[in-house]
Amino acid sequence: MGDPSWAWPVFLIWTGLACICFAILMFVRAPYGRHQQAGWGPTLPARTAWVLMEGCSLMVMTGLFFASHAPGTLALTGFSLWLFHYGYRSFIYPVRAQITHKTMPLLVALLAITFNIVNATFNGLALFFWQPGEAATLNLGLTSLAGLFLFGMGFSIHLHSDQVLRELRSSTSSPSTEYQIPNKGLHRWVSSPNYLGELIQWLGFALLINNLAAWSFFIWTGANLIPRAIANRAWYKTTFTDYPGHRTALIPFLF
Ligand SMILES: NC(=O)c1ccc[n+]([C@@H]2O[C@H](COP(=O)([O-])OP(=O)(O)OC[C@H]3O[C@@H](n4cnc5c(N)ncnc54)[C@H](OP(=O)(O)O)[C@@H]3O)[C@@H](O)[C@H]2O)c1
């Protein structure tokens, strides 16, 4: 890794916060989507919230790219993957999601925006300013190829899993806010395959880029999504009496 020595304290503090966040989310369900409840203050339309939350990640990273000078091939690859993911998540996902009548607490959106700004700043600085010499060049060794493969596989999994959920609502005569049991793709084995895909994707990114910022992003993704996957499975089981008992939360047959 080419990180400067003072990136370590930043990493440790930021990753420590992820651990605290993980512990809190094991007891408090982030109040959006199926876990939304009254009493979390003002709300905004869910579609607007997703564009704002994810779009800032795209803007910060793009700003740092333009501020950099002659980024190496590794930085350019990381930047391309970032644009690919956040282009989808900021603009395509919110437009296609069946959430027209949904809202999101402003507090949740502000917390997500704060996280995305810090995360994109950390990753952008590490990609464009902290990778000296050889560390800035993409090497096509086994680890990098595995990283690229996992990124592509993870993206495909969460793309398809989100699509299965979307079709549950678009297949009814009028778009609704109702929930059904999904029975296609990886949904047949786990309750939250979209989260599994996202985790695999950012594991691939961390393997490929291999700096502290990328690894901290992977840890943060787990801190956010593992407790929510557990909560989603519990929600399915209490909401649908016929929910298949063999479905695990996140990893088929294991967890
Ligand atoms: N990297 C990270 O830290 C992070 C954090 C959070 C989310 N994400 C990603 O963002 C995406 C969305 O996250 P999310 O937490 O909103 O995912 P989610 O709870 O699985 O919901 C995804 C979409 O499907 C709808 N939906 C979910 N279950 C449904 C069902 N049984 N029947 C019909 N519709 C259903 C939801 O509607 P409602 O909104 O009405 O529930 C929402 O529009 C995911 O791909 C996730 O991986 C990433």
Q: pTM of the prediction?
A: 0.96
Query: Which atom of ligand 1 approaches the CA of 177 most closely?
Result: 40
SS3 37: coil
User: pLDDT (tens digit, 9 = 90+) per residue, 186-202?
Assistant: 999 999 999 999 999 99
**Strand ranges, E, within 68-158:** 103-105
Instruction: Mention every residue, 6+ apart, whose C-beta is less than 8 A from residue 172.
Output: 178
Give the start-to-end residue ranges of the domains of the chain. Answer: 7-239
* Average pLDDT, integer, range 49-57: 98
Q: Whose CA is nearest to atom 11 of ligand 1?
A: 194
Poorest-confidence range of 45-54, 94-103, 169-178?
169-178
**Furthest-apart CA atoms within the chain: distance in Å:** 58
Distance 74 CA to ligand 1 centre (A): 31
Residue 43: strand pairing partners: 105
Residue 32 carries which DSSP code? S
- Around Cβ 169, how many Cβ atoms within 10 Å? 18
For ligand 1, pick from 50, 194, 221, 224 the residue to mutate: most ligand atoms within 8 Å of CB. 194
* Average pLDDT, integer, range 19-26: 98
* Average pLDDT, integer, range 146-163: 98
Distance 162 CA to ligand 1 centre (A): 7
Residue 64, pLDDT score = 97
